[in-house]
A and B are shown apart, each in its own frame.
Chain A
Amino acid sequence: MDLIIEGIKKAFYLLITLDTEVMGITLLSLKVSGIATLISLFIGISVGTIVALSEFPGKKIVVSLINTGMGLPPVVVGLFVTIFLWRNGPLGFLGILYTPAAMILAQAIIATPIVMGITLAAMQQLPKKLRLQILALGATRLQMIWTLIKEARLPLLAAIMAGFGGVISEIGASIMVGGNIKGYSRVLTTATVMETSRGNFDIAIALGIILLLLAYFINLILTHVQQRVRPR
């Protein structure tokens, strides 16, 4: 118990004194997971919408694949991304293994199916007649899609939260493709694991608390945006 109190104290101490190393780690976490989430939003929402709105043979298989992807284990993603990015691997020429860029790539792969799956469900839930109605009012296809996305705002914001929450708390892929390099690719989760194995439990707890606070504030903002939407 003492340890937890000590950890909480340490967390606030590190936050209030703006400890440069901890701030760097926190900002990198935010940057990596934020960019990864943005990428996943672009791909996830566009592909999710396209799949939801179009009819084609084998659609059920595609949808089930996307839904399976929502549970993609981060370590497996990490392992494959590592192997692809090895210097002598198929994408070795990029030279991005053990960089934040590799972490963004891995996290984007983890978050994309989550966003895609929720988008898909959100779009399919909209009444079918709505599409015809919008088109009947003279909207172009793009305008129609934009209107539908606006209609599905609530679940789509939930998709952002789920995607971001999935990657900011993820460790398996980050440590494999990022390498937990001090001052360069060390994020909150990988730092927590390392401090734990170093026996610095107070710092580990402090980092954990900072991670929770960060996740909370991001979700608070998103929830604020989400709930501002008038209920239909």
Chain B
Amino acid sequence: MITAGIDCGAKTVKVVILKDDKVIGKAIIPAGIDTKKASEEAFEEALKEAGIKKEDIDKIVATGAGRADQPFTKDSVTEVSADAKGINFLYPNVHTVIDVGAEESRAIRVDGKGMVMDFAVNEKCAAGSGAFIEAMARALEVTVEEIGPLSLQYKQEIAMNAQCAVFAESELVTLVHQQTPKPDMARAIHAGISDRIVSMARRAGLEPDIAVIGGVAKNPGFIDCLNKDLNTKVIVPDDPEFVGALGAAIAAKEI
């Protein structure tokens, strides 16, 4: 049986093609302004990698904030259940999965079968999402890829008062004027977001093992702060941003 999952996020569209419990194709494309077009491109690319045609796929399931905007299927699952299914498939021992995406973050408590026990979501405020790091990277004039590794070179832990991304930007300007070293500021940025994510995750309940997924999971500066705040070593899957799409592909098998 061949199934596909398509995850239409705020910033990117992800597609995963699954054949008999094995990922045979995947693709990620910036969502841009046209989710439909991005979905088609991502699907095309994943099909190419899998070496199959669209007709070979038995079932497609969509997830993500823009899941209604893709042209392939009317079947969908929520991001929460897609994340739970995806992480359970990869790491059955994980009981808490933290998903930090571009404009949303969520923490989900999962049982051993990939069922959702409880969850907490933030979709109202940029302070706990990738958008925060993006805005801060811009203020520090580094790329989103650079800011994480840069933060690991910190010498001193400083605290940032502002939570709000807009206020934090002004605070950074002040810190820059005070000639604070960039790595110290980058560290403070990650410590701040980690703190907010952990308090959200506590609402869902934290149960080991803990995994972190979503695009921000690729940021080593953030993971380092999370490990410190949670006093554990979190699991980061190889392609953390694909876990939702993977979960959708798994859901497609079940529908």
The yes or no verdict on A and B being binding partners is no
Q: Interface of B with A (CB < 8 Å)?
A: none
Q: Interface of A with B (CB < 8 Å)?
A: none
